[in-house]
Amino acid sequence: MHSVGGLSDRLRRAADSVLALSMPGGRHVASVLLGIEGYLYPHEALYLYWLARTAPDPANIIEVGSLRGRSTLCLAAGVRQRGHGRVYAVDPHVYGTLLELRANIERFGFQRQVTVVPERSIEVAPRWGEPIQAIFIDGDHTWAAVEADVCLWLPHLQPGGMLVMHDSTELSGFEGPRQVAKEVCRVGEMFEAAGTLASITWARRRGGAIDWNPPEYGKRLLDYIIRKRAAKASHAWR
């Protein structure tokens, strides 16, 4: 269950882990990156860690789309370091990954930081009653599904809270998240700040007591490398 993927996947996870260790806070997520397969760059993993660690109280974080738990446990690591808070992992697990997610949570000892919600996001959001400081959208990547996730969860996001969308920049191959992020995550009536990190787009809701800015370690160098690799791959196919 724990050794998902072939040799190339294991080598990639090892490289992700080493890169994470070179950045502040990396030791808290390195073992997760090494041990759990998933689609998350090492500096994205660090961003999620610092997002959870620096979140305003009570640090309730919604994750839409968990799969095996790579991003889930990076968020949980930040919650554990801060000493309180909760990650709510919302995912119907249509690919049969629920048992693997639960096993990974137990293996890494994050039972106190993560609540697994094995349901569809659009069914959970309408009945949600807790304040939310951050929403990480990484579920169904079709345009309609991403739009529905954002629209249904945004009303629960507290002033000063962060909307974070994965696979939503030009470094991602998914048109749905990119289009929704382009439409929603911009400075205006709803959000007072917005930006990108690798394939992540983030936006901070207006009205918070503090200007919450999770650090973006590795952004300049690693984003540059990713762009160069993407351009090289594109050129090779011509």
Domains in the chain with CATH codes = 39-236 (3.40.50.150)
pLDDT of 182-221, one tens digit each?
A: 999 999 999 999 999 999 999 999 999 999 999 999 999 9
Task: Supply the pTM of this predicted model.
Answer: 0.95
Calculate the alpha carbon distances from 155 to 39, 149, 160 in Å. Answer: 28, 11, 13
User: In degrees rounded to 5, what are phi and psi of residue 64?
Assistant: -100, 105
pLDDT of 116-140, one tens digit each?
A: 999 999 999 999 999 999 999 999 9
- List, for the chain, all residue ranges whose pLDDT scores fall below the cut of 50: 1-3, 235, 237-238
Beta-ladder partners of 87:
61, 114
pLDDT at position 234, please? Answer: 56
Q: In the chain, what's the furthest Cα-to-Cα distance? A: 51
Q: Cα(76)–Cα(105) distance, rounded to whole angstroms?
A: 9
Average predicted confidence (pLDDT) for the chain = 94
